[in-house]
Amino acid sequence: MNGSVLIAAGGTGGHISPGVALAEVLSEKTKHFGFESVYIHSLLRNQNNPDLINPPCQVLWHNIPQLGGFKTLIYPFLFIFPFLKTIIQFRKLKIEAVIGMGGYSSLPAILYAILFRKSLYLCEQNCVPGKITRIFSKFAKKIAFSFPIVEEFKIPGKIIGNPIRKRVIPEHLNIRQNENLHEGKKNTINVLVLGGSQGARQLNQMILKAMENSDISSKYKFRLLTGTNLYDETKKKASDETEIISYANDMKPNYEWANLVVARSGAGVIAECLVFGLPMILIPYPFAADNHQKANANYLEKEGAAVSIHSTSDDPTSLVKYLLTWKDHSEVLREMGHVSLALSNVNAAYQTISYFFTDPR
């Protein structure tokens, strides 16, 4: 296949990070997969996204408006002009294949592929397929899934794993950070708390309340990545023993430090925790589209790599119960870590690209 390949990765970090991971593979092996160039197509508001500041290939910026609210009736008029610009740009760059990572921002690239009969491929990160995947699956040549999708959706594709950026992949694929937990009851258990780039007040408050239990505070050491918006608020309420970080551009040292992760259940965070063999306490964001975070958490819990807390409050009761149970039975965390690592796929990015462009199935 001649021409160029384009990765439509625009909306949130959950779409951008795996898109960049695919771009890393294609940038190194462009000719191998039969292309001249590779591009990323992303929203203008993502210019400060850490994954796009030093991208592996050229980023084409666009400003397609989001559908919804009072704009619904006039959306076609708002959409048409930037879409025409997209068509002119893509034709000039000889875009012959489009990989859609999901979200409304991938719509212009997907429509271009359909209207001009270019090859379309889709990546679905979550157990509940997003609207883009559901609507355009019949136009795609192939679809790659990060996790098994829930049974009610009959969409053909291949389960490969969520593509992971090179800078996040661990140096050694083992779970050494948990292997020493069974050696004695005096070991400190390091807990990494992730609320996402914008933070999660619920998670921060739940952890701080749990630390009021003396048995927990004596056994567990917490590191909270609060998000920049919630850093000051959380710092004022936290004890001196709690490590508070607003944001980490390099997550690898944090994953290597941790024995346990408390987080939302977005596909990106889950995939990164899996490759580090980390057990998880997942607290799904209850207002995520189609409640997909709940489905992600349920899948990990069913497999035995995580437990989930389905709550909209900061009541720490369930969290405290888990932590007290594991306080003197850290072998449970070790076994969860083994399951976590077994579910991971550190080569998902390369395998996804290979599936799209070399696997004949």
Average pLDDT over residues 20-31: 96
20 and 140 share one domain: yes
Residue numbers of the domain that contains 22? 4-167+346-357
Q: Any known ligand binding at 351?
A: no
Contacts of 176 (CB under 8 A, 6+ apart): none
- Exposure string of 301-320, with b = 16+ CB inside 10 Å and e = fewer, is beeebbbbbebeebebebbb
Q: Any known ligand binding at 361?
A: no
Q: Any known ligand binding at 165?
A: yes
What pLDDT shows up at residue 266?
92
19 and 129 share one domain: yes
Q: Any known ligand binding at 242?
A: no
What pLDDT shows up at residue 186?
57
135 and 78 share one domain: yes
Q: Any known ligand binding at 102?
A: no
The answer to which of 37-41, 130-134, 349-353, 356-360 has the lowest mean pLDDT is: 356-360
157 and 184 share one domain: no
The tally of CA atoms less than 13 A away on the side-chain side of residue 191 is 31
Does 341 have pLDDT greater than 60? yes
What pLDDT shows up at residue 157?
96
Higher-pLDDT residue of 22, 199: 22
Does 359 have pLDDT greater than 90? no
pLDDT tens-place string over residues 41-90: 999 999 988 899 999 999 999 988 876 655 667 778 888 988 999 999 99
81 and 152 share one domain: yes
Q: Any known ligand binding at 45?
A: no
Number of domains in the chain: 2
8 Å CB contact between 226 and 195: yes
What pLDDT shows up at residue 130?
93
300 and 222 share one domain: yes
32 and 80 share one domain: yes
Start-to-end Cα distance in the chain? 17
What pLDDT shows up at residue 71?
63
Band (245; pLDDT cuts 50, 70, 90)? confident
72 and 214 share one domain: no
141 and 157 share one domain: yes
What pLDDT shows up at residue 177?
58
Q: Any known ligand binding at 69?
A: no
Average pLDDT over all residues of the chain: 89
Whole-number percent of the chain with pLDDT over 90: 67
What CATH number is given to the structural domain containing 129? 3.40.50.2000
pLDDT tens-place string over residues 280-334: 999 998 888 888 999 999 999 999 999 999 988 889 999 999 999 999 888 999 9
88 and 222 share one domain: no
Average pLDDT over residues 224-237: 82
Q: How do strand 95-100 and strand 158-159 relate by DSSP bridges?
A: unpaired
212 and 285 share one domain: yes
123 and 258 share one domain: no
